[in-house]
Structure 1
Amino acid sequence: LEEIVITSYQVQPVVCRRRMTRLDELGKKVGRTVTLECQVAQIKQTSGPTIFTLVDESGTENAAGFIEAGKRAFPEVNQGDMVRATGDVMMRGGQVQVELARLEVLHGAEAKEVLDRIEKAIDDRAEPADIPLLIDSPVLEKLHPEMRKIAKIIRRAVFTAQPILLRHHADADGICSAVAIEQAVVALINDSGGDFDTANYLFKRAPSKAPFYEIEDIVRDLDYATRDNVRFGQKMPLILLTDNGSTEEDLSAMRMARVYGIPVIVFDHHHPDEVVDQYLDAHVNPYKVGGDYGITAGMLGTEIARLIFPGVDQHVRHIAAIAGVADRSEAPERQQYLDLVADRYTEEECKKIALALDYIQFYLRFNDGKELIKDILDLNKDHDRFRNMVDLLVEEAEFAIAEQMRTCITHVIESTLPNGAHLFKIDVEIHAHKFTFPPPGKTCGEVHDRLCQQYSGKPVVTLGFGPDFVVLRSRGVFMNIPQMVRELREEIPGAGVNGGGHLVVGSIKFVEGMREEVITRLSDKIGKFSTNVN
């Protein structure tokens, strides 16, 4: 026979096209070898193996690659790659894990086919359930499509192992809005096969002292996000702002987030500035559909939480009622939410919970106080501890408020404005206790409440000021604080005026040397607004 010599040839690896296993099927295949087609969501190098977080159309699981202790396995694989993984299914620490024998990066049409399949499936899974609102509200009905959009973005982040960073105003309404979302997201993570550690790295809640996203906040958040991205291979987070995020004061932080490609979504009830919308992926605000601040952030958060994970409905619905009384909503929705939970919590009990939240958050400062807050909101199983804790905190808070009022009420200065409103001023820097509860804003609010009772039926404005700030509270005067801030900034260029809040409740900051002129001009502007005298 004539010998044939092949001189030109190529050696190529051949992959057996065996049936692909979905990640949600791994629990049934322990001890067997499987092949997966997934996207790499995270790569974490440990002192032992390299841990790859894999995502497909059905869920998220971890796979471990090992060459030698502390050395990166499959270094050619990067976060975001489409891969074909082969390995043995094992149980580690009570969780399913694939011990990788092979991890191949897919390219071209093959990678696109896997990506398209995963994207479509995740998009379908992320679509919120079609459930009705808890109450009858024309404003909330108009907001419902955008609330569904926010819920879908959050659900998608969970299904793709994208961390979620929730920033909220550090008052009772802000806490309520954020904790409702927290309960839903953690429940969704657990329902999707995650555990305590997964929930901790995929979701973080952080209070913000100001009612807007400050530079101090975004810098801290970017620092942590970039470190986690480099050290643990985490994706950059989705940022969710609640009870803040709608105003011009948020712009600087949002611009920083955009530099890093971080998506930002907002639900808020402060008067919005349209300029922020260009930096947001979704924006829910009652003012956008003819409503006002009476639809509080906590109400919005409760409804969005139900869309994220309907199973938390009975667990969180009372949070909307607490938020309504906390922010003194006068909208009809407040009473509907109270009626919804009247068999469990009276209006007076909701007020106590709100006060307890304000008190505990003052001492928590920048900490989220996760388990403490859950106890106060009656979200843990120990109902007796909830009652005892709320009663104790309310007793302490009321004593502190009474002491503060006894100290400062005699220093209130009264005058009458041209529009007939009674203007009351108090220097909370020198006539109130500092660095203790209640803080200046709460002190001003308590003084205002007492003056409103004293001057029942008459328009009342209270200004609590310090060296470089003034806190405003109003009843019966149709003010527009954001508008006044813009005008003062232009009229007194050397005062460095900024601030905001709601239309009739808010705070303004300025340089100390211009205090008298700013307060004088501010008083003049308040005196020109129309009033409502009962």
Structure 2
Amino acid sequence: MSSPTGTDDGAAVPDGGTVVYDLAAECTADDLEDDGRYLATVNGVVEYGVFVDLSDTVSGLVHDSNLLGDYDVGDELVVELAEVRPDGDLSFDEVRLDDYRLEPVAHGDLTTVADLGGATGDTVIVEGTVVQIKQTGGPTVFQLRDTTGVVPCAAFDEAGVRAHPGVEIDDIVRIAGRAEERDGGVQIEVESLTVLDGEPAAAVRDDLDAALSELAEPADIDPLVEWPAFEKLWDDLREVATELRRTVLAGRPIRMRHHADGDGLCASVPLQVALQRFIAEQYEDSDAPQHLLKRLPSKAPYYEMEDVTRDLNFALEDRTRHGQKLPMLLMLDNGSTEEDTPAYRNLRHYDIPVVVVDHHHPDPEAVEPLIEHHVNPYLHDEDYRITTGMLCVELARMIDPTLSEGLQHVPAVAGLSDRSEGEAMADYLELAGEMGYDEGDLRDIGEALDYATHWLRYSSGEQLVTDVLNVDCDDRGRHEEIVEFLADRAERDVADQLDAAMHHVDHERLDNGAHLYRIDVENHAHRFTYPAPGKTTGEIHDRKVAETGDPVITIGYGPDFAVLRSDGVRLDIPRMVSELTAEVDGGGVSGGGHLVVGSIKFVSGMRDEVLDALVEKMAEAEIDEELGSSTALPEDVDV
């Protein structure tokens, strides 16, 4: 490279052997070496010399006694550090070289997020994409993702004022600053932030895409048990696992909605723990698992407008207040029916993808145009016997395979809670036995979950529920004690409820030979306590099945709802609800669930007409002695 303008008073250096350093814009005086030569640009000319810039923050004076030529603003020359004065000002001497080579110098050492733990106290450079911008009362915090992880980067302007206002989410940037320990992780205190474009940005983005595609791949595991019916869904689960990992890597939050029952908890809690662990691996911010994942129970067996409105409001607030991307919605043990579609359509106004893992009888034509992924055994000619809890335990293992041993008992809890009669239940029970759980223990866990969920209502009960289910619980003794306490309380409360309710159960024999039992749970059962109407109806139903040994249908009804249970009768509750909606004018009928277990709602003034029409349809249903009860009720109706 040719030398800058000026005369040469020194010997030429052959073969370009001298290195002249070209400081990046974000470099500071800490990047200078005493014997280094640097490319400088004149930014001012005065009588006693010229002022030069070596970077955006490194400037100084070349005194005329140390100049070798005449320069104007914008000219380049090579200098070396002469003195650092007590007040911090820098002075330089000009160096004349006939031949040299330029070597770019970045501020600090280029490193990765994964290596920041060993660089605390050092000035570092990290390149990547911005996944979140949060304005605090002090600094602006940029969450930066590189190929190995995500690190918070605190940039200061005036307190509470947005630093680097031109930077946006998904920009490719180079951040330089000091790596410091903070709250058990590492944070970069930003000294400079540069938005990259052109080839440098494209190179960083290509590296990110390749690394994140590899990181998004789920673990290559085998199912906990061999079950041909389950294997049909394996590829679908891997696609969802990939999507969930990719969502975490992209910095998009996840709102996990699950049915508030035993199977819903067996599905959501293991997946919550797996995702939280994966988030913690990827993010230096110790609060990231809390901010990027929310588990939210849903009482209804579909995504209610109340829930979607609340979720959407929180998502928009988090985007405004905390700079988060809009979330993914993950629906578990819920979300497969036409009743979910109004809520999904509401989300379509925003960039909120929906993923559904469920085992209720689906309406794919209505749902799938509105969602990204749909895992459901019915889509593979299977049924409810593959519970959502069984599916999500495998999903959790794909995300974090180290959880495998701690989850061995959960599929059995899910199956017993939802009364699965799948051929793999014996294998699941055997797996649980290896963890020290017999069938009675597992049923107690299911009852304890049901009891705790009833009182938690709309709260997720984070630590309590994980302790009851013994997922990521560090105290087996505490787990056993709390399960025993809650299960005993549940058994006592059920007994009290049935002592009062059984006297008011009405019986009739339908034309098809099935027993029909009805109870007004509004007037003949305790209200606002455990068990709720759905559970009460289910317990009555189980007693009548045991007493008669015949096909049984049980209806528990209130002013504007009914919950339905059936054994030995080929019902199709979703179809019956659709027919009643069309046939009972002014009935306001809605509902659904599984084929032989479900719930319906209607306007209170039309209760008798709706129930009479419902019973007529039940009387026409085919008897099937081998058709057992499908599951615990998918809805506990709050009245």
How high is the TM-score relative to the length of structure 2? 0.80
CA distance in 2, matches of 1:17, 1:122: 28
**Higher alpha-carbon deviation: 487-496 or 443-452:** 487-496
SS of residue in 2 equivalent to 1:259: coil
Deviation at 1:4, TM superposition (A): 11
Deviation at 1:324, TM superposition (A): 0.5
Other-structure match for 2:493: 400
The letter of the residue matching 1:524 is E
Q: Is the 1:86–1:102 Cα contact (8 Å) retained in structure 2? A: yes
Other-structure match for 1:302: 393
Q: Select the structure of larger CA radius of gyration.
A: 2
Q: Is the 1:60–1:160 Cα contact (8 Å) retained in structure 2? A: no
**Residue of structure 2 aligned with 1:179, choices 269, 279, 286:** 269
Deviation at 1:6, TM superposition (A): 8.8
Q: Is the 2:152–2:285 Cα contact (8 Å) retained in structure 1? A: no
Flag structure 1 segments of 5+ consecutive residues without an equivalent. none
Aligned positions of 1:332-343 closer than 5 A:
332-343=423-434
**Residue of structure 2 aligned with 1:238, choices 315, 319, 328:** 328
Deviation at 1:37, TM superposition (A): 1.7
**Residue of structure 1 aligned with 2:594, choices 502, 509, 520:** 502
The letter of the residue matching 2:131 is A
**Residue of structure 2 aligned with 1:319, choices 407, 410, 421:** 410
Flag structure 2 segments of 5+ consecutive residues without an equivalent. 1-5, 8-68, 77-101, 627-639
**Residue of structure 2 aligned with 1:280, choices 366, 371, 375:** 371
SS of residue in 2 equivalent to 1:69: coil
SS of residue in 2 equivalent to 1:114: helix
The letter of the residue matching 1:141 is E
Other-structure match for 2:618: 526
- Summarize deviations over 1:430-478 as a string: whole Å, max 9, x none: 111111000000000000000001111x110001111111100000011
The structure with more strand, counted as a fraction of residues = 2
Shift in alpha-carbon separation, 1:261–1:430, aligned structure 2, 3 A: same
CA distance in 2, matches of 1:342, 1:179: 21
Are 1:423 and 2:516 matched, yes or no? yes
Q: Is the 1:189–1:195 Cα contact (8 Å) retained in structure 2? A: no
The letter of the residue matching 1:295 is I
Other-structure match for 2:278: 188
Deviation at 1:335, TM superposition (A): 2.0
SS of residue in 2 equivalent to 1:64: strand
Taking only the aligned residue pairs, the percentage that are identical comes to 46
The letter of the residue matching 1:242 is L
Other-structure match for 1:99: 189
- Superposed CA RMSD in Å reads 2.1
**Higher alpha-carbon deviation: 14-23 or 445-454:** 14-23
- Summarize deviations over 1:472-494 as a string: whole Å, max 9, x none: 00000111110001111111131
Other-structure match for 2:254: 164
- Summarize deviations over 1:46-104 as a string: whole Å, max 9, x none: 12211110011111111111122222111111122111212222223332111112111
Q: Is the 1:295–1:333 Cα contact (8 Å) retained in structure 2? A: no
Shift in alpha-carbon separation, 1:473–1:223, aligned structure 2, 3 A: same
**Higher alpha-carbon deviation: 188-197 or 71-80:** 188-197
**Higher alpha-carbon deviation: 435-444 or 30-39:** 30-39
Other-structure match for 1:221: 311
The letter of the residue matching 1:258 is R
Deviation at 1:29, TM superposition (A): 2.3
CA distance in 1, matches of 2:518, 2:228: 39
CA distance in 1, matches of 2:370, 2:145: 28
Deviation at 1:250, TM superposition (A): 0.8
- Summarize deviations over 1:415-437 as a string: whole Å, max 9, x none: 11121111111111111111100
CA distance in 2, matches of 1:162, 1:255: 20
- Summarize deviations over 1:373-408 as a string: whole Å, max 9, x none: 111112312222211111111111111111111111
Q: Is the 2:413–2:442 Cα contact (8 Å) retained in structure 1? A: yes
Shift in alpha-carbon separation, 1:196–1:58, aligned structure 2, 3 A: closer
SS of residue in 2 equivalent to 1:54: strand
The letter of the residue matching 2:240 is I
Q: Is the 1:89–1:96 Cα contact (8 Å) retained in structure 2? A: yes
- Summarize deviations over 1:158-210 as a string: whole Å, max 9, x none: 22222111100001110110001011111212233456521110111010001
Are 1:371 and 2:466 matched, yes or no? no
SS of residue in 1 equivalent to 2:129: strand
The structure with more helix, counted as a fraction of residues = 1
CA distance in 1, matches of 2:370, 2:318: 24
How high is the TM-score relative to the length of structure 1? 0.95
Other-structure match for 2:30: none
Are 1:442 and 2:535 matched, yes or no? yes
CA distance in 2, matches of 1:179, 1:76: 40
- Summarize deviations over 1:483-506 as a string: whole Å, max 9, x none: 001111111131011000011000
The letter of the residue matching 2:387 is T
Are 1:154 and 2:247 matched, yes or no? no
**Higher alpha-carbon deviation: 99-108 or 54-63:** 99-108
Other-structure match for 2:380: 289
The letter of the residue matching 1:308 is I
Q: Is the 2:187–2:284 Cα contact (8 Å) retained in structure 1? A: no
CA distance in 2, matches of 1:402, 1:79: 57
CA distance in 2, matches of 1:63, 1:155: 23
